[in-house]
Amino acid sequence: MNYKIEKLKDVAQVITGKTPSTSNPLFYGGNISFISPADLNNSTIGKTKITLTEIGAKQVPLLPKNSVLVSCIGNLGKVGILDKSACFNQQINALVFDESKILPKYGFYFSLTLQKALEKAASKTVIPIVNKSKFSDLEISYPDLPTQTKIAQILDKADQIRQKRKKAIELADEFLRSLFLEMFGDPVVNPKGWEVEKLVNLSVAKPTYGAGASAISYNHKFRYIRITDILENGTLNNDKKSAEIDEKEIEKYLLNDGDILFARSGATVGKTFLFTDKIEKSIYAGYLIRFQINKNKVLPEYIFNFTKTAAYQSWVKSHMKTVAQPNINAQQYSDLEIIIPPMEIQIKFVEIVNKIEKYKENLGKQVQFSDELFNSLSQQYFTKAE
């Protein structure tokens, strides 16, 4: 199979995004998607958190359907493909492929392999950046159009398998949120009239901030949990790191079964993670706050699932300070009010949660297998020109 190698700028129009003025309310809240890196999930881009009006969209580049988007500032290499026209911000470079050379779906799947090249090309600053010029000079290898079609069809099928598994996990999470409301009611309304307690009074100790140590390669002695390691579904990613920390300090930050971590700063403020004894020995980083839950008063699984409710998300939005970046401190989290149902009802809830988590764990293994299959196929097709 013969592959050609060209620079991205020679096979596609490369466009950098832009953000309309946030001080003009007439630009926002319409029907046109406005994409940021948070909306890029290495798949077709769905509903976005921010939308623009037609007036707002006229202030920035509007991409056509089938454009491929790649994040080039911060979290490098996140990718998406459009199923309709949309606008996007300056953290993203977009590729509008010349379809006489490269099919958009082939270009999308190839773009998923660009992360290492982007990291190599990135500026050595606090936040990694790959500017338009460097991005445009990255190379793409491609065969003839009929072969591209076959490759895209095979990868489509492999991707559909893994996306179905991931969707099943999302549905399980939705079920748990619905179950919480059914068993306990809306925490804001507290329809059952249960006791309300502040989070600090449900803990065995005052909240503590994590270590300020630098992350290093995983040493198999302990894991260093950072904000970026915590996924939206409350699990950890596979990017294991340890910390450059004095051994005498480790005990201070060592996590125990039932501890809950709260993100205190940045775009993920309010995100939570429940540590259990199924997880390896771990300490936690400085942008996280630990609450050690008193299991005689409330079950940690109940608290953790409370943080998945709309009521909690609303509380986060109303309490975060936005001077330089969103922030919620330990005192604010301590004052978070939580309804406390009778222990027997909490136990029934947790029994169901454990069954669902077991189901999700099995699904996770299937997702891992389907990811490995997809990556194996990608490596097979996209390394032939090397």
| pLDDT, position 234 | 81
Tokens of 261: 């971590």
At the topology level, CATH places domain 4-142 in Adenine-n6-DNA-methyltransferase TaqI; Chain A, domain 2 (3.90.220)
At the topology level, CATH places domain 195-340 in Adenine-n6-DNA-methyltransferase TaqI; Chain A, domain 2 (3.90.220)
Task: Give long-range contacts, CB 8 A cutoff, 24+ apart: 145-148.
Answer: 145/103, 147/1, 148/102, 148/103, 148/106
| pLDDT, position 324 | 59
| pLDDT, position 385 | 45
Q: Are 4-142 and 195-340 the same fold in CATH?
A: yes
| pLDDT, position 238 | 83
Tokens of 66: 């089938």
pLDDT along the chain (386 residues), means of 10: 92 97 93 93 91 96 98 93 97 97 98 94 86 96 96 96 92 95 95 96 97 92 92 84 92 96 88 95 96 98 96 92 78 97 97 94 91 92 66
CA angle 90, 93, 96 (to 5 degrees): 135
- Cα 43 versus chain centre, distance: 13
- HSE-CB for 317 with a 13 A CA cutoff: 6
**pTM as predicted:** 0.73
Q: What is the DSSP string of 102-162?
A: --HHHHHHHHTT-HHHHHHHS-SSSS-B--HHHHHT-EEEE--HHHHHHHHHHHHHHHHHH
Residue ranges of the domains in the chain?
4-142, 143-167+343-386, 195-340
How many CB atoms are closer than 10 A to CB 50?
18
| Close Cβ partners of 152 (under 8 Å, ≥ 6 residues apart) | 103, 105, 106, 109
